[in-house]
Structure 1
């Protein structure tokens, strides 16, 4: 079945040329994006994703391309036309199309693209055995809380991780503290069994899965500490894991080739993975 996309009011084949050459998303990476998942026909955390979309647009001085309700309907219809029970919905909003100029007008009309692909979640082996990450300097811009489509440092870091045979790269600030992964949030469990992750701020993107995991952990009686932690702390931690919409709660069992604790997923990580799978309707999925 051909993949179908929504592009500025039309549903078209994914192979159809549909975005203007002078779209500012293409010319300047002047846009934002969101990614949410559908599990067994149910959109997961949609309102949280739309909230973050609005926050990013507001930070960029861009209007919503349409009302929240209309956007949700477009996402649902694009998903329906692709007939995938488990799917990843990607939407991108650029500032719009205009003759190439760094400055932009205040009355530009945003461009909206929505695409759907089959969901690819961590394999059973990755969930059971964990994955490795490498550490790299954080070379991104100073507004990582905005979900910008300008992702060059992220993709280069992800590529270095892939070349090293690792799932992800954990990025380090100038003090040697972990900010987050190239496309995920980073977590450790300290010696006292507390969950530690970097606090919200300009240095990280506030992950939707991150927010859900914090709520689930607190509800389950797991203490959560939002603070920066160093690479050395991570390597010496009792447990480590990463989270994202498509990575779920994924154990990290090696950092820069050094095993975390005994090199196996820990009990807190496993518990949170179970709670998250239940909350997202994935208890027997992935």
Structure 2
């Protein structure tokens, strides 16, 4: 036979993709037939040892990597990945910690590159990224935001991060707005001012996006008597019965309910800053 390493077909196609040969390149028989018709015998061949390659999917505005085992220990997968990503000219910044988690596999792997997202709104030190049409936030968000925890799930693949379901915006005192075009998650905290003083945990969004008020907090500020029955879902305030929504040990009522108890309570809604201003003057 011809000396050197050959490119040839074989009768054990199951071995393709493994380290079964002694140096030759094994192809599927149908592929070697096509190659033979295109390339003359003796054509110079350049062999490139490449464990990482990548590309950009313009249709989905995502980038991907294909990572193969470094069987000869000739390269650094993390360093090679960084070089490939840089060569792509991708407009987004990769989230290296999340990408590192994905590159732990010891087999050929094609992965979408997680990208860093912008987070706007409150001054929050929260890290986040976007991957496979999902937004992930660092678990610090659980410490600084009041949210519906059903929409935040710890993720086994990305340690220290939780997955945010952007199709089901949570209730609580914060609202989320995901803008995929701007690659930005806007977090807006609801504020309530009573006679110019900000009240803590005085308002919340319901699961169907209604504005609810913590009647106990308001009553305490106005020195009013308050009691409620979680069974009947009714509250008694200033001898007036109100139907509301008990949740997490708090009794929530709509703003109109408060104004029935205190007719002199005036409200102004600042939709730009998500701030409810209440003014109360005793008669």
Same fold (TM > 0.5) = no
Please classify the TM superposition score into its range, dividing by the shorter chain length. under 0.3
**Computing the radius of gyration over CA atoms, which structure comes out larger, 1 or 2?**
2
Q: Please report the TM-score for the alignment, with normalisation by the length of structure 1.
A: 0.23
Higher relative CO (CA 8 A, sep ≥ 6), structure 1 or 2?
1
Of Structure 1 and Structure 2, the greater strand share is in 2
* Larger helix fraction of residues: 1
